[in-house]
Chain A
């Protein structure tokens, strides 16, 4: 079974530039997550999609970050304009529809992440 795919793996930009990340979840996974992981920290949830609808975006800095999941499959995360503090690894994860499994065992599968450096 193919895992969660992300691209690009690395990106270096200057502050105030724009950047976009792409994620392709595991086939059949209805739920998709974007996380920000700053060096030495655990992942922080930015946004959660259930199919193509947003479930939780309470921690997404909406003045500069945006995300979409058209057709309920692939997703893109955009930062415009980037700041120095946005330097981090952006992880995408997916899981089955929680309604299909007991919530106690619903596992998130993570992609390799995109390492963003803002200069």
Chain B
């Protein structure tokens, strides 16, 4: 069983709307959680990183939250733009290893 589960697998949203992506993990011990954005044909790029003591982190229109007690994280995209169309990958670090989720595929349409 994958240690990082993301939902929804894919979603389509209208430009200007908000959306929230979910990440649940079972990695233990926990070190940090990153959200990556992967554009088509590109490598992943880090958006945010949170450690155990941080429960929210923003990067422009991207806001990530972390609940280390329930082992859940979310990535909220505000006022989506066409350039937000990408795969968003949740990556959890623990015990000197990284566990990757399968990604949330987001398509923003005009």
Taking a contact as CB atoms closer than 8 A, the residue among B32, B96, B97 that contacts A105 in the complex is: B32
Interface of B is mostly: strand
Stretch at the interface among A11-19, A65-73, A76-84, A107-115: A107-115
Q: Are B43 and A103 in contact (CB under 8 A)?
A: no
A103 to B95, CA, bound (A): 10
Interface size class of B (residues with CB under 8 A): 20 to 34
Note all chain A residues with C-beta closer than 8 A to B100: 42-44
CB distance from B75 to the nearest CB of A (A): 15
> Given contacts A4-B43, A112-B41, is CB(A42)–CB(B31) below 8 Å?
no
Residues of chain B touching chain A, judged by Cβ–Cβ distance below 8 Å, are: 4, 31-32, 34, 41-46, 49, 51, 89, 91, 93, 96-98, 100-103
Known: A91-B44, A107-B49, A110-B45. 19 other contacts (CB 8 A): A40-B103, A41-B102, A41-B103, A42-B4, A42-B103, A44-B100, A91-B43, A98-B96, A103-B93, A104-B32, A105-B49, A107-B46, A108-B46, A110-B44, A111-B43, A112-B41, A112-B42, A112-B43, A113-B43
